[in-house]
Structures are given as C-alpha cells and as structure tokens.
Amino acid sequence: MPRKLAAGNWKMNGTGESLAEIDRLAAALPKAEAEVAVLICPPATLLERMSARLTHSAIATGGQDCHFDESGAHTGDVSAAMLLDAGATHVILGHSERRNDHGETNSDVRSKARTAIAAGLHVVICVGETEAERDAANTLDIIQGQLAGSVPDLVTGENLVIAYEPVWAIGTGKVPSMAQIGEVHDFIRASLERRFGAGVGRSVPLLYGGSVKPANAQEIFAVHNVDGALVGGASLKAADFLPIVEALAAA
Ligand code: 13P
C-alpha cells in the first residue's frame, strides 16, 4: 500500500503573513501521522521561510515547478537544487496551469522530472484531461499519453507521485463522479504496473486533485486507488485543510 499523502498547492497565493496558517497547521499536527504524509507547496518566495518554520514538524514542503537545466541563464526560473536548498523535499511538475500558461509539453515535464530526481527531490507529476477531451471520450488516451510522455524511466516507488487533476475540475467546484475518479485511478495504477513492474507500480501514491473540500474529501478518499489529494484553494487555510488531512487518515 502506498503511503497516503495530503498535499497542498498554494499556487500564486501567499505572502509572509500567510505563514500564520502554517503555524496553525503545524500546531494541529504536532507529530508525524503513521499513515499520512502532509506536504505544502508554497510559492518559491515563501519556501525557505515555510521550511524553516516546519523544521520540527512532520509537514514537508515542495516547489511548484523547476527548470530542466541544473543552473544557468534562465531568468526568472528556479532550479531543483535551489528548491532543495530552500528546504523542499518535493516538486510539483506538469501542473495543467504550467502546461497552459507556459506551454509546457510532456517532454518538458519529463526533462524536469529527470533533473529533479537526480537532485534528490520527489516529483509530483500532474496529468488530467480537459472538458472537451472528456466529452469526446478521450480521457484515458490523454492520460496514457501524458504518463508515457511525462514520467521518466528512472522513477521508483519512492520518488514518484502521480496527481490526477481533471482540468475542468480545478477551481470550478465541479468534481467528477466517484466512478469516473475510480476509472482513471485504476487505469493509472495499471499503466504504472505495466511499465515499471508491480512492485513500483503499486507503491506510487496516486492523488486526486480538483475542487477537493472538507465536504467531499471522505467520499473521494473512499475510492479505490485514491491515496490522497492535491488540494489548491482549500489548502490555503488550516481550518479547511485539516479536515481533509483527517478524512485521509480515517480512510
Ligand atoms: P483546487 O483545489 O483549487 O480546485 O485546485 C486543484 C489544483 O490544481 C491543485 O494542484
């Protein structure tokens, strides 16, 4: 069984005063939960401060992107080594907002994942279909293409997390049916097992993301092969994120 993971993606939200939310979260989760890992991915500007605040906590931190080069002339970009240096253990790669806003391709995501893993980070690779792709019954083909194109060969059960985030469910309040989530998660698991073998395939945590809230978390975590969530809006406030962590621990 993969370890359960409750991950928060703060996206482009948060300044120094938002760290009070992290203090609240850390106070409510004083020690490592045996079954649930907790990860927060703040904007790069907050990463070092947040990591320092969480030194004595079991909550991990991560970046939201990194460059595929180790260093160099890439104005405005952040390298995997810089994320590590700022205290991160994880990095989200291939989020649909990066794919859309910055034209990231599967091949870009794969290169970034290679660099991040080589630097010692765990990668959270995002996949997910648009509404038009779902309407055209192309969801599983799109997911398969993203997995094949974005996930590098060198992953293990230890350094890879996959997040299934249907683009139409992100920030919209719309959530797929539990059967639709289950179908995609079972498909991702089978695809990973085929490519990497049963041992690795089975131990990769599969997260669902897209309008996860305290009110729907329990139902989502009951779905087969859902090992946690990648939460956007509801991860910004400890009062919203904590019940999601608790629902995952109880699942
Ligand atoms: P919301 O939870 O705000 O829908 O965002 C999901 C997401 O994109 C997490 O990466």
Per domain, the residue ranges of the chain are: 4-250
Instruction: Name beta bridge partners: 36.
Output: 4
Distance 211 CA to ligand 1 centre (A): 6
**Active site (annotated) includes residue 56:** no
Residue nearest atom 9 in ligand 1 by C-alpha distance: 232
Ligand 1, atom 2, residue with closest C-alpha: 232
What fold does the segment set 4-250 form as a domain? Answer: TIM Barrel (3.20.20)
Name the token pair of 236: 């910004």
Pairing of strands 4-9, 36-41: parallel
Task: Give the per-residue pLDDT at 111.
Answer: 98
**Residue 171 Cα: closest atom of ligand 1:** 4
| Segments of the chain with pLDDT less than 50 | none
AA identity, residue 243: P
Extract the tokens encoding 44: 């790069």
Q: How does 111-126 read in b/e, with b if 16+ C-beta sit within 10 Å?
A: bbbbbbbebebbbbbb
Give the residue whose CA is nearest to atom 1 of ligand 1. 232
- Ligand 1: nearest atom to the Cα of 235: 2
Three-class secondary structure of residue 60 per DSSP: strand
Of ligand 1's listed atoms, the one at least distance from the Cα of 11 is 10
Q: Both tokens of residue 234?
A: 């509801």
- The conformational region for residue 198 under phi > 0 = left, psi -120 to 50 = alpha, else beta, is alpha
57 to each of 9, 120, 173, how far by Cα in Å?
18, 20, 31
pLDDT at 3: 82
What distance in Å separates the CA atoms of residue 189 and residue 229, rounded to the nearest whole number?
16
Tokens 């975590």 belong to residue: 221
Give yes or no: 122 in active site: no
For 52-78, give one letter per residue: b (16+ CB within 10 A) or e: ebbeebebbbbbbbbbbeeeeeeeeeb
- Condensed to tens digits (0 to 9), the pLDDT of residues 160-210 reads 999 999 999 999 999 999 999 999 999 999 999 999 999 999 999 999 999
**Predicted local confidence at residue 157, as pLDDT:** 86
94 CB near ligand 1 (under 6 Å): no
